[in-house]
A and B are shown apart, each in its own frame.
Chain A
């Protein structure tokens, strides 16, 4: 145990108005680890991710307490919140191609961060699109609108975009919700490749996907961590909590 973890969360509470949705949760994520978060709808998974890179700030009614540390630094005390968001990348559940060309979509974040040399951008765009397994399909039409791509392509475009600012942590929020199984498998391969270099937090409704990708899995339910353990334990026949077993084996509720 040397140095800070990639992400350390302590007693994180989040309320929208008077309704508390995260009831004091604590966990940490090591470097280059793949952590899966599973759980039914409305259990606070997306809200949890938004606390990590502070995009929760934009929700007026949200109040957050507890600490989130990124590389040992409290995210609520960082001076450059925009820089923080670039270090913790986020992929939303429904792909949102920004209304600009494919090239500009991927070059958006680097440009916001101050990279303007055409050559640097060209290299970066190609690298990111290759990493997201999209380069071969779009290399001849980088100038066409990002929003004109198919759903699965747009999802890979958002992954390329999230990689474009070279994040240390990549959060994926149910990325496979809008895409077909074949594309999903391709992206999963991409993620396996990426996990050698960066930390990945994967929110998913697909229990099997968590099992395939994650070294550890968290079962979040009603804003509380029911169980957090290695995926081997969570998906075994003997997890520590009966509810985990029920959820994973589809006999929940």
Chain B
């Protein structure tokens, strides 16, 4: 017979127990991560509050017309006799640059994501992914340089436009900046589709393209939509590159080669010159609030769309 103490662990000693510090440590860690989670909400609210606080006085002053602020294209903040704070041209500028960028970047980005995920070989895939991540790491001011020098010359040469820094230039630069995001998030979404779907479709005699269009795109549509919207977010919020590439003229664009100014670029360019506490300064903060509301609306719509898609 063997020693009974070896055959039955219960007789060796008291039941093993976790140490007190391990239990406390876990509780503490839980509190810490809860705090970091909740802090996200807090930060968003705080940012909104402080920006709004700077903007509030002008919003409630008598000679300020809110409708004019939103829908007038006249922006003369430093005029001596006829001060006008209408941001319509800036809003249109932001939207048109973003829309142009998305028209170019979405097909390109999703196409690249599909190629990397479904058609490329393993070595090619690694090379492409690393290159695209590098592209995402280029600082926006460098993109601005490219827009200001290289791209503007090409545009002048090709279109005969009087200036090369314009809507087309900004849209191209923003498209180039959004593509890496769309590609990497889109590729993740496609990779997340289980291989069993691919195998099932293959066994049913589907060609590669039939698999892509009938199985993968429907299965990955939420992720792909998220990829596109992150691209939109990047484009709407981008400041430095559009400041340098769009020509910075407050003006409702009539063609692709018209110069425009965006909400973001306007704030960046003028805030340093506006005296603190002046109505110009306050209106610029109100523009920030407007920008905040636009991105919030875009994100909210995206969320609702994704939820709607999921329910079906």
A-to-B contact residues, CB < 8 Å: 53, 55, 58, 60, 82-86, 89-90, 92, 94, 96, 98-100, 108-109, 111-113, 158, 161-162, 164-165
Contacts and interface: CB of A to CB of B under 8 A. Distances in A.
- Most chain A C-beta atoms within 10 Å of own C-beta, residue among B122, B196, B201, B205: B205
Contacts of B198: 58
B205 A58 contact: no
Contacts of B197: 96, 98-99
Given A99-B219, A108-B214, A83 B196 contact: no
Given A55-B203, A82-B205, 5 more contacts: A55-B202, A83-B205, A85-B202, A92-B196, A164-B204
6 contacts: A85-B205, A98-B201, A108-B204, A108-B214, A158-B200, A165-B205
Contacts of A112: 204-207, 210, 214
Given A111-B214, A112-B210, A98 B203 contact: no
A113 B205 contact: yes
A52 B22 CA distance: 57
Nearest to A81: B205
Contacts, number: 64
Interface string B214-256: 1100110000000000000000000000000000000000000
A94 B203 CA distance: 14
A109 B206 contact: yes
B215 A98 contact: yes
Contacts of B204: 85-86, 108-109, 112, 161-162, 164-165
A85 B203 contact: yes
Nearest to B219: A99
B120 to A, nearest CB: 12
| Complex A-B, nearest 5 residue pairs according to Cβ-Cβ distance, in ascending order | A86-B205, A85-B205, A90-B203, A109-B204, A96-B200
A52 to B, nearest CB: 11
B68 interface: no
B199 interface: yes
Nearest to A53: B203
Nearest to B203: A90
Contact of A55 (B194, B196, B199, B219): B199
Nearest to B121: A60
Contacts of B194: 96
Given A108-B214, A111-B214, A112-B214, A96 B206 contact: no
Contacts of B215: 98-99
- Most chain B C-beta atoms within 10 Å of own C-beta, residue among A60, A98, A100: A98
Nearest to A49: B203
A96 B193 CA distance: 12
A99 B200 CA distance: 11
Nearest to B221: A99
B214 to A, nearest CB: 7
Contacts of A158: 200
Contacts of B206: 82, 108-109, 112
Interface in B27-77: none
B213 to A, nearest CB: 10
Contacts of B201: 98, 108
Contacts of A84: 205
Nearest to B196: A96
A167 to B, nearest CB: 9
A109 B197 CA distance: 13
A161 B199 CA distance: 13
- Most chain A C-beta atoms within 10 Å of own C-beta, residue among B194, B197, B199, B203: B203
A109 B205 contact: yes
Contacts of B210: 112
A162 B196 CA distance: 15
Nearest to B312: A145
A92 B205 contact: no
Nearest to B194: A96
A113 B207 CA distance: 10
A85 B219 CA distance: 23
Contacts of A92: 196, 199-200, 203
A112 B194 CA distance: 20
A53 B200 CA distance: 13
B61 to A, nearest CB: 56
A94 B200 CA distance: 10
Nearest to A50: B203
A202 B198 CA distance: 22
Nearest to B195: A58
- Most chain A C-beta atoms within 10 Å of own C-beta, residue among B199, B202, B204, B219: B204
- Most chain A C-beta atoms within 10 Å of own C-beta, residue among B122, B202, B214, B219: B202
Contact of B196 (A94, A113, A165): A94
Interface in B265-290: none
Contacts of B203: 53, 55, 85, 89-90, 92, 162
- Most chain B C-beta atoms within 10 Å of own C-beta, residue among A55, A60, A108, A111: A108
A111 B219 CA distance: 18
- Most chain B C-beta atoms within 10 Å of own C-beta, residue among A99, A111, A158, A165: A99
